[in-house]
Structure 1
Amino acid sequence: MKNKAIISFNKINRATIPHYYDYAIAIEKVIEALTKRTGNLYNIYSFEEDWEMIYSALEQMLQNKTDDIEVISPIFDHISSRKIHGSDSEGYSITPSESNNLLYFPTYDVAYANIQIYQSHADYPHDFIFAQDDESVVTFMKEMVEKTRSFMLDGITVLTDTEDGLERSQEEITNQIQRDDVLLEEIVKRDIFRSIDEFFSKSGTFFKTYNIPYKRGILLYGNPGNGKTTLVKSIAGSVKAPVIYWQITEFTSSYSIDEVFQTAKKMAPVILIIEDIDSMPHESRSVFLNALDGATSKDGIFLIGTTNYPERIDPALINRAGRFDRAYEIKQPDEKLRRNYLLKKQVSQFVAAEVVDEIATKTKNLSIAQLNELYMSMALQWHYDKQVDVDKIIEELKENHRKTMKQDWEMEDFDDRLGF
């Protein structure tokens, strides 16, 4: 039952409590519209922790036009209540917005509204839930978390630290990388995929069977261009679990670290990917280490960290049990891997089959990314000249690599500078 409030909206005016009047009129009108729709009376609830997660679920539900959500009406008539999605290449679609609309969920008899509150000193949006009792709210919130997890299975959830806080976006996996396409030492590849598969098999039955804490952390390190990102993409696309990709920036803080791990925990079992982990701001490292040490903060989380510069990582990150369990070096491809890569790319369409082995030998110390560039250059030469000078391309790639490593670039001096 709704308790009687100390201050009644109907018995105040702008002269007595002006700010409350401005604040409450929007709430009163929303409740009137909701009661008119259902005939019921409602309590008002606010929430802080899961609002971004709920917002994401609402956006997906509105885009999918599901039957379990109803748009009763816009709240203000001169504020946007429709949202544009897509691009010129993908095509555009229009849906109701999550904000400035009164959204009703008949299954739970619960409503949601993101209302722009206008006061003399500031304007800000505020999230409200309207329900007849606490039980309905709890059931609704749990269902929204489950819907969010379900929607996350359709792509990769990207969390980016910005000046305005943690931003969330959903990216589709448009180019699925098969496990067979991952070029790594066979024993390393086998170990990584075995641990991944067992972690997500029947919610970690393996871990329960052998009384192992249900959490796992691996660190992938090595020179750029040798397949760390490819491996991560292959893992993300081959596991039926939510995948969260966390982009560390200079704005990463203790607040965002806590929010990332709380989000991952609610979506567990889940994969949490942190690329370029060495870029963690110095002032936030102790908080990050504490998050890794938490007794329950990583339950159900498979953590994957990557770095091109392992020497920059605090030894405490990997020398203490429970943080990262294993560190795998993603090495430069050996001759066998280079040959396999060249065969997969079908370079034999440009050169005689027996030359492939020679190329594999001559490309010693080149990365997977450089081998990809070798293929691209061969294809371009063949396309225009119908012949390929493989030795010249390889020499140019090695020289480019040497200059990059030593920062030894030939630069001409110009008297005229372009504006600076």
Structure 2
Amino acid sequence: MKKQRLIILGGGESGVGTALLGKDKGYEVFVSDKGIIKEKYKKVLIHNEIEFEDGQHTEAKILNADIIMKSPGIPDKVVLIKQIRAKGIKVVSEIEFASNFTKATLIAITGSNGKTTTASLTHHLLKQELNVGLAGNIGDSFAKQILEENYPNYVLEISSFQLDDIIEFKPKIAVLLNVTPDHLDRYDYVFENYIASKFRIIKNQAKEDYFIYDADDEVIESWLMQHPIQSTLLPFSLTKQIENGAYLDKDNIKITIDNNQIIMPTKNLALEGKHNVKNAMAASTVAHLLKIRKQTIRESLENFQGVEHRLENVLKINKVQYINDSKATNVNATYYALESMDAPTVWIVGGQDKGNDYQELFQFVNEKVKAIICLGVDNEKLMANFGHMVDVIVETQYMSEAVKIAYKIAEAGENVLLSPACASFDLFENYEDRGRQFKDAVRNL
């Protein structure tokens, strides 16, 4: 029998993981990356005798595929993808490909904001009592973990780009945290297309599967009213009483599933801010569903350390707190960051704009921000939106300079917050690189 030809577009973490799993499962594998594949990934491919190319896509080697796994970063608008689709070749995401080779219980988490924090927190709650992996947009690729670890349970952080290329993917538990305009450049600037993409997470679920979601999110609520879904619903809310699901009652989170209720006090939550109460509700609902003991959930919520680059306290210098929120790559994430500031703040913002509407930030900027430092190649939109709101607004293209300016402006008892509301690719490799440069610059003051 002729081997099936698996072509992988993109030689990053998910691409190389898929290549290893594909080879192990008997596919003929070829990896193609238009950019340059990182040295550490090249070594893995060479060591495993997997054929690859970088710096180009050779059509003749790609268009004869039986199945194609494309990196989530490659948009459908690319000519090569159009050619592949025109030939009727099956295109899948790594999540879709890998899930065919595991019988594990899958917990899939998506949302415009809070995915990484909630996935990490959920994993932290479950790992105390279950054998569980953490994958998706985070850590080692899902495909590689299935090959090497084969955990009986996985928490998966999943982006809309990964969901766009799923066909049969069916998580036992799906979590949708929120839907706010993000990545609209990938969805023809039509918010509805992006919403539909997020809801693909429950597309294959049945009655015995669970859907955990934010019942305070109007976008989610209105979508659910218009589309019948099969899953068992477990909403969470800060404002309304929920019969099956989670809600906030004074300072307690109450979670009820099949008449079995647990109560969690919020006063000792390790993570601060209203949005983190929601993230805790979502994670605890998953844990309660999977029969994790109440005591374990409570202790884990209290000792969770948080995620790097997400409202991360870096240092206090001369009584000024420096905070790294480089992971805030959209306006809504920055909304939460500014909302949680309790002192006058010097705000470092900017980068690659994805069609942002800054209006929802105006109240906080007027109330809490004393100076703005624009850190991007093109800061025109920021200057136009915020120029008249603060006395000091400056532009720079260097992180070290941004931090030095902030150091001069901020006074004792105030904050310096990096919360860019934009993608990082204009000046940095990615948001991690941006966050690390910020932390290095602060430590070098």
TM normalised by structure 1 equals 0.33
TM normalised by structure 2 equals 0.32
Structure index of larger Rg? 1
Of Structure 1 and Structure 2, the greater helix share is in 1
